[in-house]
Structure 1
Amino acid sequence: MISLTGIEKRYSTHVAIGPIDVDLPAGGITALIGPNGAGKSTLLTMIGRLLEADAGTISIAGHDVASTKSRELAKVVAILRQENHFVTRLTVRQLVGFGRYPYSRGRLTVDDEAIIDRSIDFLGLAELEGRYLDELSGGQRQRAYVAMVLAQDTDYVLLDEPLNNLDIQHAVQMMRHLHRAATELGRTIVVVLHDINFAGHYADRVCAMKDGAVVAFGTPDEIVQPDVLTEIFDTPVEVIEGPRGPLAVYY
Structure 2
Amino acid sequence: MITLTNVLKNYSSEVQIGPVDLEIPAGGITALVGPNGAGKSTLLTMIGRLLGLDDGAIEVAGYDVSTTASKDLAKIISILRQENHFITRLTVRQLVGFGRFPYSKGRLTRADEEIISRAIDFLHLTELEGRYLDQLSGGQRQRAYVAMVLAQDTEYVLLDEPLNNLDMQHSVHMMRHLKEAAAELGRTIIIVLHDINFAGHYADHICAVKNGRVVEFGTAAAMMDGQILTRVFDTPVQVIDGPNGALAVYY
Shorter-chain-normalised TM-score: which range? over 0.9
1:97 CA drift (Å): 0.1
SS at match of 1:197: helix
Query: 1:212 & 1:156 partners in 2: Cα distance?
Result: 23
Once the two structures are superposed, residues 16-66 of structure 1 have per-residue CA deviations (whole angstroms, 9 ceiling, x without a partner) of 100000000000000000000100000000000000011000000011100
* Alpha-carbon distance in 1 for matches of 2:250, 2:14: 29
1:186 counterpart SS class: coil
How many angstroms does 1:201 deviate by? 0.3
Q: Secondary structure at the match of 2:197?
A: helix
Counterpart for residue 150 of structure 2: 150
Encode CA deviations 1:68-118: one digit per residue, 9 max, x unaligned.
Answer: 000100000000000001110000000000000000000000000000000
CA distance in 2, matches of 1:226, 1:153: 38
Superposed, which structure 2 residues align to 1:1-251 within 5 Å? 1-251=1-251
How many Å separate the matches in 1 of 2:167 and 2:53? Answer: 34
Aligned-partner Cα distance in 2 for 1:19–1:227? 24
> Which stretch shows the higher mean deviation, 141-150 or 241-250?
241-250
Taking the aligned partners of 2:226 and 2:244, their CA distance within structure 1 comes to: 17
Higher mean displacement: 217-226 or 180-189 = 217-226
**For residues 184 and 87 of structure 2, what CA distance do their matches in structure 1 show?**
33
Deviation at 1:224, TM superposition (A): 1.0
Q: Distance in 1 between matches of 2:60 and 2:238?
A: 36
SS at match of 2:89: coil
Q: Runs of 4+ in structure 1 displaced over 4 angstroms? A: none
Q: 1:53 and 1:178 mapped to 2: Cα distance?
A: 28
> Structure 1: where are the runs of 5+ without partners?
none
| 1:145 partner letter | Y
Deviation at 1:245, TM superposition (A): 1.2
Could you tell me how far apart the structure 1 residues matched to 2:14 and 2:221 are?
Answer: 33
Q: Percent identity?
A: 73
Q: Unaligned 5+ residue runs, structure 2?
A: none
Aligned-CA RMSD value: 0.4
Question: Aligned to 2:57, what secondary structure does the other structure show?
Answer: strand
Length-normalised TM-score, structure 2: 0.99
Partners of 1:24 and 1:245 in 2: how far apart? 24
| Matched letter for residue 222 of structure 1 | A
Instruction: Report the 3-state secondary structure (helix = DSSP H, G, I; strand = E; otherwise coil) of the residue aligned with 1:209.
Output: strand
State the SS of the aligned residue for 1:46: helix
